A and B are shown apart, each in its own frame.
Chain A
């Protein structure tokens, strides 16, 4: 099943399970969703529960917050994370803070779905990974599932979660395929746990979202050269499953962080700081950090490819800190 279909199944199952669950967003009803995630849902559930909105990110985000405060379980689709900046005031200043500011009375059980990422020649204003901006903020959960299985299980968890969850997808993930249990088989994936997607003993590569797949390809190739890389999929970047990471650090003593976002002040650097803070004594080499180039995303195909991190970048980073002697070469 594709990532897209897994998302749609999760939405549909949650809407069937709970009358309070509804979806709203730009072009999600008649158009079927910019990335066709909600295709068919309008026909099945009607205009009350599948709501097309004006192109106005600020009010639709605020309205989703208000609907959550009013007892509903909204799933808001923002067309891309780039446009969420127009709604960032409501996300950061209201959704993340109301419960704390008002003595624990309000709850904001809201899911905001939106894709980020580049690689499809969408240009600088449509290709960003902005998850770190939001993950900085206490009061939010920020998850970035990479596989069809995880995306379905985590969306179901997000809908049932009592707090605001930013559910960040990736444009280039919608068509990927993976095993998902048959429709109706009930399972969820927790919002606060990463997962070891491949076991290894020489090095740990930490990744999430689309870069997980690039990382798994790199690990496959490294294995041919005798380097056994452990691959961790963060799945959630807030909260971050630091225990899982520390266990792996203690085993491999070497870390590469591979992410599509920019290098400075983001998720990878925050993670590196946490690893140095809690596991410095276990580290045998400096952490290597694979990211996009520190530029706005270029439109040119050639330059975009150069700006995005790829498999070879990960392999190079691994080879920089895995000495041949360690793997018996």
Chain B
């Protein structure tokens, strides 16, 4: 949630569902205004579709032809609420039509299908033709959080998805069939990914905690104008 990189153009996560959607529209506006050819890609879940910000953002991005691609990762549960109980329609396509933007449903467990849907959407945005709404249908294998026992769905359902629809497994089988990669390469990849994760975890564990001076750092750009800084620190 707390990842941001000015250097990479990564504008963070947002712990308020759908709040990233208006902000993404604004970053896209800045790109359009300054004549840059960058495209903003904004991810959100099926729960965000229920928020007003989703609708307002799609509308604004449409009328201003903003270079933003809105990608809904529909994993079928907003925390524990099943999408079929929350949505009045069973797909995002009518919503895309409502805001006069192209929409597409994509099998999110098929890496190549996702690539083939996102690429033209990004190109379209870059050409100045505005936003696209993609519904990437997927599944969340685990609970919503570390403490979610997922009582709202069956273990059978989870098992079925894991066994038959794992996107990494599907992609590997496809590449093997095509002969473009070998099992040894996958094993090597897995080992490297594991190593990167373990290194990152070790880095985090071995990093020092913030100092108490950090408590008041970065409230404002000019922190001396922050109220707490002026009084509590004096």
**Chain A residues packing against B (C-beta within 8 Å):** 22, 48, 53-54, 56, 58-72, 74, 89-90, 93-94, 98-107, 138-139, 141, 162-163, 191-192, 238-240, 242, 274
Contact = CB atoms under 8 A, between A and B. Distances in A.
Interface residues of B, number: 43
A22 B33 contact: yes
Given A54-B56, A67-B29, A90-B19, 15 more contacts: A48-B33, A59-B53, A59-B59, A66-B23, A67-B27, A70-B30, A71-B34, A94-B23, A100-B219, A101-B12, A105-B4, A107-B221, A141-B220, A162-B220, A240-B227
B16 A94 contact: yes
A67 B11 CA distance: 12
Interface string B26-63: 11111101100000000000000000110011011001
Nearest to A242: B231
A59 B4 CA distance: 22
Contacts of B22: 58-63, 65-66, 90
15 contacts: A22-B33, A59-B25, A60-B60, A62-B21, A62-B23, A63-B22, A65-B26, A66-B29, A67-B27, A67-B30, A70-B27, A70-B31, A102-B12, A163-B220, A239-B225
A55 to B, nearest CB: 10
B231 A56 contact: no
Nearest to B19: A94
Nearest to B33: A72
Given A67-B33, A103-B2, A163-B221, A62 B59 contact: no
B15 to A, nearest CB: 8
Contact of B26 (A56, A67, A191): A67
Nearest to A138: B219
A59 B19 CA distance: 9
Contacts of A66: 11, 22-30
Contact of B59 (A22, A54, A67, A99): A54
B226 interface: yes
Nearest to B14: A94
A63 B23 contact: yes
B225 A103 contact: no
Interface string B219-234: 1111001111011000
A278 to B, nearest CB: 8
A34 B211 CA distance: 49
B6 interface: yes
Contacts of A67: 26-27, 29-30, 33
Contacts of A64: 26
Contact of A238 (B27, B57, B227): B227
Nearest to A239: B227
- Most A CB contacts (10 A, CB to CB) among B19, B22, B219 go to B22
A90 B18 CA distance: 10
A70 B226 CA distance: 24
A99 B19 contact: no
B156 interface: no
Contacts of A139: 219-220, 226
A102 B2 contact: yes
Contact of A53 (B30, B60, B227): B60
A60 B63 CA distance: 13
A69 B221 contact: no
B102 to A, nearest CB: 20
A104 to B, nearest CB: 4
A72 B23 CA distance: 13
B206 interface: no
Contacts of A59: 21-22, 25, 53, 56-57, 59-60
Nearest to B66: A63
Given A54-B56, A99-B219, A191-B225, A105 B5 contact: yes
A191 B221 CA distance: 14
